[in-house]
C-alpha cells in the first residue's frame, strides 16, 4: 500500500511540474508578444514568426493600416484566416481593413469617377458584412456599413439594412436617392 501511495505522490508531483512548466512557457510567450505590441505602439515594425499569436498578428495588421500599408495588412488577415481559433483577432483586423477601404473611398469620392470609387465601397461593404456575421452586435461595423451603403445607393444593400434590427435613428441614408446624406 505504501508503494502505491509513493507512486501516486510521485505522479502527482510530476504532473504539477509539467503543468507549471507549461504555464511558465505560456507566460513567456505572452510577455514576448506584449513587448512586440509595445514596439508597434512605439512606431516600429516587427517581423513576426510563422506561429505568432493571433492577437499579435492583428496588432501588426492595425499597425500596418495606420501607415497605409493595406496590402501588408491584408497578408496578415490571410494568415489569420488559416487559423481556426482566431475569430476575434480576424474580426478586429477585418474591421480595420473595411475602415481603411471606406476611408479611401471617402477621400476620393468627390474627385474621382464612380468607377474608381465603387470597387472600394463594394470591398468595404463585403468586409463589414463579414464582421457582422462574426459579431452581429457590432454597431460600429453596422453604422460604417450604412455609410458605405449611402455612398453606393445599392438597392440590395438598402433591403439588407431594412431587414436589420437597427434603430432608425442610427441609419444614415438607407434608401434616399441622390448624393450621400440625402443631399440633392
75 and 120 in contact (C-beta within 8 Å)?
no
pLDDT at 160: 45
8 and 69 housed in the same domain: no
* End-of-domain residue from the set 26, 44, 62: 44
Number of domains in the chain: 2
More confident residue, 116 or 146: 146
List, for residues 144-181, the tens digit of each pLDDT value: 998 888 877 655 544 444 444 444 433 444 444 444 54
Q: What is the pLDDT of residues 3-41, one digit of tens each?
A: 777 777 667 676 666 666 666 666 566 667 667 767 767
When pLDDT is averaged across residues 107-117 and rounded to a whole number, the result is 79
Give the whole-angstrom CA distance, residue 48 versus residue 62: 14
Q: Is 83 in the same domain as 145?
A: yes
Same-domain status, 64 and 140: yes
pTM of the model: 0.67
Q: How far apart are CA 1 and CA 156, in angstroms?
A: 75
The answer to whether residues 145 and 99 belong to one domain is yes
Considering the domain architecture, whether residues 143 and 62 belong to the same structural domain is answered as yes
Same domain, residue pair 20 and 53: no
Q: Quick one: 35 and 70 in the same domain?
A: no
Q: State how far the Cα of 89 lies from the Cα of 92, in Å rounded to an integer.
A: 5
Matching residue, cell 465603387? 118
Model confidence over 40-87: pLDDT tens digits? 677 777 777 787 888 888 888 898 898 999 999 999 899 888 888 888
How many CB atoms within 10 Å of residue 80?
20
Per the structure, the complete domain to which residue 10 belongs is given by 1-44
Amino acid at each position: 500500500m505504501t508503494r502505491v501511495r509513493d507512486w501516486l505522490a510521485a505522479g502527482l508531483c510530476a504532473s504539477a511540474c509539467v503543468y507549471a512548466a507549461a504555464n511558465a512557457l505560456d507566460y513567456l510567450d505572452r510577455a514576448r508578444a506584449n513587448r512586440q505590441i509595445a514596439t508597434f505602439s512605439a512606431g516600429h515594425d516587427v517581423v513576426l514568426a510563422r506561429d505568432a499569436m493571433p492577437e499579435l498578428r492583428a496588432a501588426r495588421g492595425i499597425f500596418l493600416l495606420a501607415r497605409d500599408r493595406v496590402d501588408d495588412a491584408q497578408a496578415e488577415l490571410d494568415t489569420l484566416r488559416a487559423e481556426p481559433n482566431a475569430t476575434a483577432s480576424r474580426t478586429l483586423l477585418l474591421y480595420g481593413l473595411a475602415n481603411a477601404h471606406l476611408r479611401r473611398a471617402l477621400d476620393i469620392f468627390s474627385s474621382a469617377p464612380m468607377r474608381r470609387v465603387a470597387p472600394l465601397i463594394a470591398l468595404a461593404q463585403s468586409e463589414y458584412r463579414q464582421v457582422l456575421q462574426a459579431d452581429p452586435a457590432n454597431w460600429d461595423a453596422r453604422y460604417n456599413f450604412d455609410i458605405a451603403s449611402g455612398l453606393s445607393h445599392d438597392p440590395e444593400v438598402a433591403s439588407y439594412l431594412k431587414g436589420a434590427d437597427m434603430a432608425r435613428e442610427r441609419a444614415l441614408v438607407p434608401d434616399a436617392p441622390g448624393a450621400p446624406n440625402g443631399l440633392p
